[in-house]
Amino acid sequence: MVKSVLGVVGGSGVYDLPGLENAEWVWVESPWGDASDSVRIGYIDGLKTVFLPRHGRGHVHSPSTINYRANIDVLKRCGVTDLVSVSACGSLREDLAPGMFVLVDQFIDRTFSREKSFFGSGFVAHVSVAAPISPNLADSIEKAAKAEGLSYHRGGTYLVMEGPQFSSLAESELYRSWGCDVIGMTNMPEAKLAREAEICYASIAMITDYDSWHPDHGSVDIKAIVKVLHENASNAQRLVSRLAKDFPKERPACPVGSDTALDHAVLTAPDARDPELVSKLDAVARRILVQA
């Protein structure tokens, strides 16, 4: 069993929680560059909780300019074992209405201008993301949603688009034909990098709109999205706060191997590894580097 540290990445409605004790903003250096912001570290019922504003306070980073590698590296350096992503998404299904939470379990990555791996030339590794969501963490989120009486849906595929523009009607209809359930811009490569860092990951998609496919809603309206986000902020706070209060202080092994993803992933022989890249992986790959 490993001592749990809960990480949360999302917006101001998530990290500004009542009940967070001894909270302080801490800047953490990363060899991968600057993270989106400082992290806010505090305790909820004795559980260390680390919050990172994905877009930075004041929303200064677009989905394409977020330094996802630095963000995950910083959370790893803070000891995060389980990471919850909270993000605004569009719905690609009639029954997933604005205001609902969707606990997704799969992704389709359509991003194309982001750094997607900590590994590369001089240190090659291939992790599996067949099951990108850690089921134990998703179970805990579902229990928290039930306890708070929130409207949620368990399961679904999140189409991650590059952005920052919203979908064309043709794109929206294409993604619906693929069987996707929600669409957003931020969970990739975040989920892939969390897996490389051996952090259990789960995603809460907050539905804000019907993307551009719905005949009764037309194109996406950013004002309407912000309105739904503000209205739903208290629900997001309740969900995350309850999750932290009820979260196990010690985490069992992940059923899909999120916490041991690097065990058989590295192909580069120890004597052939690039020392500079190895030094940058001191947090992400610490467990296997110590064993080497």
- Binding residue ranges: 12, 54-55, 87-88, 185-186, 209-211
Two structure tokens written together for 19: 């009940």
d(CA 157, CA 141): 17
Q: CA-CA distances (angstroms) from residue 163 to 64, 80, 199, 273?
A: 7, 28, 26, 35
ω before 53 within 30° of 0 (cis)?
A: no
Instruction: Taking the CA atoms of 260, 265, 269 and 275 in sequence, report the sign of the dihedral they define.
Output: negative
**What is the pairing mode between strands 101-104 and 200-209?**
antiparallel
d(CA 292, CA 281): 13
Residues belonging to the active site: 209, 211
d(CA 202, CA 138): 6
Dihedrals φ, ψ of 162, to 5°? -70, -45
